[in-house]
Amino acid sequence: MGKLKNDNAILYLIVYKDIMDKIFNGTKTIEYREITDYWKKRIVDKPYDLIRITNGYGNDTRPYIVMEYKGYEEIEYNGKPHFAIPIERDLWCEWRDEIGGEIKQC
């Protein structure tokens, strides 16, 4: 994965298993986060290099994906403003697709 520019260069996102399954099978290529004060503090004007999406909270054996961060768009989604963050497979750097599974890299 290479050396990060700083310790805060990764945007961490937690998702449910059904969402993670859609990301892994390629049917979900955008991650949406409602524009709230919580997400504004974590996304707006932050110099992220990478995103780490993890299926749930817990130990280091959980499924995850680390990918390049390409920014976001502000859009209307389900009647509310959201950050739309691209998560296409061509951005992936490293992943584990099952609990305790092998770590794969590009």
Residue 58 pLDDT: 76
Closest CA to 96 of 55, 50, 58: 55
Q: Are 77 and 93 in contact (CB under 8 A)?
A: no
- Residue 8 binned pLDDT confidence (cut-offs 50, 70, 90): low
Does residue 72 register a pLDDT over 80?
A: yes
Residue 60 pLDDT: 76
The pLDDT of 87-100, averaged and rounded, is 93
Q: Find where tokens 């993890």 sit.
A: 54
For 47-66, write each residue's pLDDT tens digit: 999 999 999 887 778 999 99
